[in-house]
Structure 1
């Protein structure tokens, strides 16, 4: 039995891990040079900054067991259970669940899941056809661990069930802008929601969540603002610098800025089902299959892996 998993984000890797543990031959194909998907990390002088997901929370016991393993390995740490909200010039504390972060960047969690798997990077799949087949090669099953619009781009029109599942997803874009400052001059806040703002949705103190105290902020932009500035990275950096300075009252400008564009940052209408698996042996999984969280992606991939292992094994 052979399965191809397309996409090496947390959902695809979790699915592949279950299948490999069940004795099934699995290849993971990833179009980018690294694993992780939106668990994305960019390095500045060797230091990582998270430019995709900001943190993760834990409420499921199976995922909690995975997280405890990451913590024991030094890959994950408890960060904070209280964020703040900025709105109309006011600041308010917002207690909530414990947020977890990763000292080496959230991508390190995906790299841990990928250890021992057969992963081919910079391999863009162009066609998933009945059979099923991946780019003309027959397999027993295919898993598409990616946003629905990306799945639709490769699914053959004859694969109606999988296309219907992927077509039901609506995604919002966002920019993640990393700003490095000469020193820390902002009030202690860890992470913040910026409510009702034209440009910003959130700001995270990356030095606080990483635990090294470095003067680095990462801001995320609204879907409407992003849609109007796709491809305009330099303009976005300048405008986000101004917006962050105004919200936090900063006296200094950043030394450097970097903007990463996410066309599919967050699903608008998550599914009530944990994954899709049809009679064509095409599966679809990811964080659109529930509340948009790292935990959802892991649970979706894990559940699909178990269902496929039961069907094939």
Structure 2
């Protein structure tokens, strides 16, 4: 790998995967770094005790032609399938499948949290949280949630104007295994602290059983952001029982806190890129709270980098 013609992608969610795939397709080398144990970002799946829950993003929809074509290709190849309501697609066998497809055959360093980015002449080097060094790289693309990008840039002595304007709502997510799943596979209550109840086991390619994911509404999640997980499990379980009109008879229950779950204020532009530094950022925070927005933002950043490096965009 010629690292002086290699691009570092920080973040292995949809934006990072779309950027990495596009840059590799154009003939450049890419290396992807992510602090998580696996890829997908908020397109996340939790497995435990033989159970499976999509505890992050629940589905994808296409509003534009580019992502519609991508979904159609994935559906032809069995990587996504329809679920619940018209136009909604989910990954098969889990929500990480589309991201894994984009990153197939690419270099991905999971469990690697980048702590600093360092300018070294005309190139970049990276330092991770364990003290490891990576590089040199011709360009760096950062695809974390905007507050995490701002923190990394500040720690490294750099800035990208505008990233600080994007804001997020948090979300508490409850994963429960119950004896009987509700008849409705997707419930979106109005008068409740709950924003969504999804039957994971109703999605194509999933294990059988009563596996439910419950997402709390943003205001409730914000008010209870620092509450103990046990208290969140209890409160959301009771709220779910009230929505469903029957006891859950829970066999398994765990809560996950997403500090940066859904974009509230988007930047309103496809990506940020500084051609003098060859440093850019992308994510759903650029265009809006959708998986499609993350995908399109990642593509926009990839094309900006390719154009700057003299490759066809």
Asked if 1:311 corresponds to 2:308, the answer is yes
C-alpha change, 1:257 and 1:52, in structure 2 (3 Å) is same
Query: Aligned to 2:84, which of 56, 66, 80?
Result: 80
Separation in 2, partners of 1:252, 1:300: 40
Deviation at 1:41, TM superposition (A): 0.2
Post-superposition CA distance 1:69-121 (Å, at most 9, x none): 2212222111132xxxxxxxxxxxxxxx5111223110122111111111111
Matched residue, 1:253: 249
**5+ long unaligned stretches in structure 1:** 82-96
Matched residue, 2:110: 121
Secondary structure in structure 1 of the residue aligned to 2:184: coil
Asked if 1:54 corresponds to 2:48, the answer is no
C-alpha change, 1:50 and 1:11, in structure 2 (3 Å) is same
**5+ long unaligned stretches in structure 2:** 128-132
Deviation at 1:124, TM superposition (A): 0.9
Separation in 2, partners of 1:56, 1:189: 19
2:10–2:34 Cα contact (<8 Å) kept:
yes
Separation in 2, partners of 1:210, 1:254: 23
TM-score, reference length from structure 1? 0.88
Separation in 2, partners of 1:203, 1:210: 17
Query: Aligned to 1:71, which of 58, 72, 75?
Result: 75
Query: Aligned to 1:22, which of 21, 26, 44?
Result: 26
TM-score, reference length from structure 2? 0.88
Runs of 4+ in 1 over 4 A off after TM superposition: none
Q: CA RMSD in A?
A: 1.9
Post-superposition CA distance 1:15-72 (Å, at most 9, x none): 0111111111211011111011001001144443200001111122221222122212
Deviation at 1:243, TM superposition (A): 0.2
Post-superposition CA distance 1:170-225 (Å, at most 9, x none): 111111111111123x3x3221222242x211111222234655212111112332
Map 1:1-313 onto structure 2 (within 5 A): 1-81=5-85, 97-131=86-120, 132-135=124-127, 137-156=135-154, 158-160=157-159, 162=160, 164-184=161-181, 186=182, 188-197=183-192, 199-210=193-204, 214-227=209-222, 228-230=224-226, 232-279=228-275, 280-313=277-310
